[in-house]
């Protein structure tokens, strides 16, 4: 069994565990854990499609579930950012959160989606030995890192940079490349906080335009932006 198979089977085990839990009872923890596992599965799928020289093809069942869990996660993040503030938007977020949890619905089976990925993995392993797969992936990772290093970073493309870094992070996690994982995670998490503050600011502008809160969050956002730029220098 190759490390690809081992990694895939471990992610499926985790996915099935939290899927089973959510069918019985909807909890924050299971929503969060299944979303993280979906991120790893999405990265795994992108790698398989790349190695098979085909267009990205993620089953719609996974795409829909990722969107659904993302909606809940976005609300939780905004609630955390606004925890120290007194603003009516927090009550609106709580209402939205309770509504999403109450109406959270997950389909009974993802066996077709999982088989789709398993079949792709089988085709990859027919054409590549494990060492070749790893070498190809590492080459792709280095190319992606080189692209980021050569980018002129601005607020307009920083979120795009984070998406690239997250894919690299989950790829290296799959390969157990511990030397780079911690640094990459720190960078992408900082950029993520910057983006979350930016989104929250825009939502408050639309909801009640509380200038004091907007000003406070803007200062925090700008600090996170500058910190992100500094961290990216050491990429």
Same domain as 108, residue 169: no
The count of structural domains within the chain is 2
Question: Which of 109, 128, 147 represents a domain boundary (last residue)?
Answer: 128
- pLDDT tens digits for 2-12? 777 888 999 99
- pLDDT tens digits for 99-135? 999 999 999 999 999 999 999 888 887 776 667 778 8
pLDDT for the residue numbered 1: 46
Same domain as 26, residue 84: yes
Mean pLDDT calculated for residue range 164-179: 86
Host domain of residue 181 = 130-235
Q: Are 188 and 165 in contact (CB under 8 A)?
A: yes
CB atoms within 10 A of CB 66: 16
Mean pLDDT calculated for residue range 25-39: 95
Same domain as 160, residue 120: no
Q: Are 79 and 97 in contact (CB under 8 A)?
A: yes
User: Rounded to whole angstroms, how far apart are CA atoms 184 and 191?
Assistant: 11
DSSP assignments along 134-167, one per residue: HHHHHHHHHHHHHHHHTS---TTTHHHHHHHHHH
Question: Which of 128, 147, 166 represents a domain boundary (last residue)?
Answer: 128
pLDDT for the residue numbered 56: 79
Question: Which of 104, 128, 152 represents a domain boundary (last residue)?
Answer: 128
């Amino acid at each position: 069994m190759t490390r690809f198979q081992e990694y895939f089977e471990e992610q499926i085990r985790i996915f099935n565990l939290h899927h089973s839990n959510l069918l019985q009872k909807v909890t924050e923890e299971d929503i969060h854990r299944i979303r993280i596992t979906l991120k790893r599965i999405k990265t795994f799928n992108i790698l398989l499609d790349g190695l098979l020289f085909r267009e990205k093809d993620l089953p719609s069942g996974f795409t829909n579930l990722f969107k659904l869990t993302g909606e809940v996660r976005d609300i939780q993040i905004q609630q955390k950012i606004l925890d120290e503030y007194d603003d009516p938007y927090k009550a609106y977020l709580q209402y939205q959160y309770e509504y999403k949890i109450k109406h959270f619905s997950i389909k009974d089976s993802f066996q077709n989606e999982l088989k789709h990925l398993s079949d792709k993995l089988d085709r990859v392993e027919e054409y590549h030995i494990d060492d070749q797969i790893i070498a190809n992936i590492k080459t792709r990772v280095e190319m992606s890192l080189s692209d980021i290093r050569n980018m002129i970073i601005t607020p307009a493309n920083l979120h795009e940079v984070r998406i690239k870094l997250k894919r690299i992070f989950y790829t290296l996690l799959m390969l157990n490349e511990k030397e780079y994982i911690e640094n990459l995670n720190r960078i992408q998490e900082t950029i993520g906080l910057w983006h979350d503050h930016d989104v929250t600011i825009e939502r408050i502008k639309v909801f009640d335009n509380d200038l004091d809160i907007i000003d406070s969050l803007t200062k925090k956002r700008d600090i996170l932006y500058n910190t992100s730029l500094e961290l990216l220098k050491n990429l």
